[in-house]
Amino acid sequence: MVIMGIDPGLNATGYGIIQASPSILQVLTAGHLRPPRARPLGERLAFLYAELGTLIERYHPQNIVLEMVFTHHNYVATAALMAHARGVACLIAQEHGVALSEYPPARVKKSLTGNGAASKKQVARMVAQWLQHTDASWSADATDALALAIAHAHTGAQRQVLPLSGVIARIR
C-alpha cells in the first residue's frame, strides 16, 4: 500500500510518501512545498493544488493522511491560515479518488514514540528509525508528514490483525 502523509501549511506543506508492506516500510519520496509568500492567497493555494496533484499522479497513493486541526487559543489566526492548505489537501484527495484519513497529533506521536507529547526531534528520530533511512534534506514538515504515513500504516496493520468489528462484537 502506498500512503501519502501531508503536513499542510501555507508557508510550507510537508509531504511524505511510503510503501507499506507487512514486513517493511519504505520511503518513496519526502519533502516540502513552499508557495511563494509574496503572491496572493489564491495563487499560493493553486500552487499547492498543482504540486500535490503531481505527487498523487506520480506515486498513486491509496490513502492520504492529514493531522486533525489542533490549535491553542493564542494561535487561532495561524490555524485559520493552515486550514486553507488543509482544504486543498482534502480537495485534491477527493478529486483523485484517494481515501482520506485524519489523526490527532498526540496519537501520531504516541504511535511512533510511545509518548503523545514527544518533541519534533524525537518524532524525526523515530521516523528515521522506522524507515531505516534519513535524509539531511528532510525538513521538519517532511518528517511530520512521514510520521503521519507511518502512523497510518501501523493503524492499518492493527486493523488487519484485529478487525474493529470483531472487537465490538466481543465487547457486547
Question: Given 43, 57, 102, 141, which residue is catalytic?
Answer: 141
- State the catalytic residue, choosing from 7, 102, 135, 144: 7
Q: Nearest CA to 32 among 59, 51, 19?
A: 51
Long-range contacts from 9-12, C-beta under 8 angstroms, 24+ separation: 9/82, 9/85, 9/141, 10/35, 10/41, 10/44, 10/81, 10/82, 10/84, 10/85, 11/35, 11/37, 12/139, 12/141
Catalytic residue status for 144: no
Which of 43, 51, 57, 67 is the catalytic position? 67
- Identify the three-state secondary structure at position 87: helix
The answer to whether residue 51 is catalytic is no
Nine cell digits for residue 109: 506521536
Q: For residues 94 and 42, is the Cβ–Cβ distance under 8 A?
A: no
Residue 90 forms beta bridges with which residues?
Answer: none
Query: Is 67 a residue of the active site?
Result: yes
- Give the active site residues: 7, 67, 141
